[in-house]
Amino acid sequence: MTKRSSLLGFLALVILFLVASLTAADSRIDPRLYGGLAWRNIGPLRAGRVSAVTGVVGRPGIFYMGLPLGGVWKTTSAGETWYPIFDDVKEASCVGAIEVAPSDPNVIYVGMGDLITGGGINEGNGVYKSVDAGKTWQHLGLDDTKQIPSMLVDPHDPNLVLLAAQGNVHTHTEERGVFRSIDGGKTWKKTLFINNETGIQKIAWAYDRPDVILATTVRHYQAPGGAARGGAPAPGVPAPAAAAAGAAGGQGAPAPPAPTGTAIYKSTDEGLTWKEITGGGLPTLAGRTGVAVAANTNAQRMFLIGTFGLYRSDDGGATWHQMDAADRRIAGSGYICDVYVDPKNPDIVYTLNTSSYRSLDGGQTFAAFKGAPGGDDPHVLWIDPTDGQRLFLGVDQGATISLDGGLTWSSWYNQSTAQLYHISADNQYPYWVYASMQDSGSVAVRSRGGLNRPFTRLQELQANAGKQWQDKLKELETLRSATSQKINDLQNSKQGGAPQKFILSPEQQAELQKYQAAESDYAKQLRQVQKSLRKDTDSLETRIKVLNIGLMPALVATTGVVLSVVKRKRTAAK
Residue spans per domain, the chain: 62-402
Which runs of E-coded beta strand occur in 150-297? 150-153, 161-165, 177-181, 189-192, 198-206, 209-219, 263-267, 275-277, 289-293
Alpha-carbon span 495 to 217, nearest angstrom: 83
Kindly tell me the number of DSSP H helices and DSSP E strands found in the chain: 4, 32
Exposed/middle/buried for 309, CB within 10 Å: 0-12, 13-18, 19+? Answer: middle
Tens of pLDDT, residue by residue, the chain (574 residues): 555 556 556 555 656 655 555 555 455 788 888 888 888 888 888 888 999 999 999 899 999 999 998 999 999 999 999 999 999 999 999 999 999 999 999 999 999 998 876 566 889 999 999 999 999 999 999 999 999 999 999 999 999 999 999 999 999 999 999 999 999 999 999 999 999 999 999 999 999 999 999 999 999 988 887 654 443 344 343 333 333 333 334 443 444 444 689 999 999 999 999 999 998 999 999 999 999 999 999 999 999 999 999 999 999 999 999 999 999 999 988 889 999 999 999 999 999 998 999 999 999 999 999 987 666 889 999 999 999 999 999 999 899 999 999 999 999 989 989 888 899 999 988 888 999 888 778 888 888 755 544 444 445 544 555 455 455 545 655 555 555 555 555 545 444 444 444 466 677 677 667 766 665 665 566 556 555 555 544 454 444 444 433 333 433 333 344 334 434 444 454 4
Q: State the Cα–Cα distance between residues 82 and 399, nearest whole angstrom.
A: 10
62-402 has which fold? Answer: Methylamine Dehydrogenase; Chain H (2.130.10)
Cβ(108)–Cβ(134) below 8 Å: yes
Amino acid 239 reads: A
Give 276-283's long-range contacts (Cβ < 8 A, gap of 24+).
277/317, 280/313, 280/317, 280/318, 280/319, 280/320, 281/311, 281/319, 281/320, 281/321, 282/311, 282/320, 283/244, 283/308, 283/309, 283/311, 283/322
d(C-alpha 376, C-alpha 47), whole Å: 12
Phi, psi of 305 (to 5 degrees): -130, 145
The DSSP secondary-structure symbol of 522 reads H
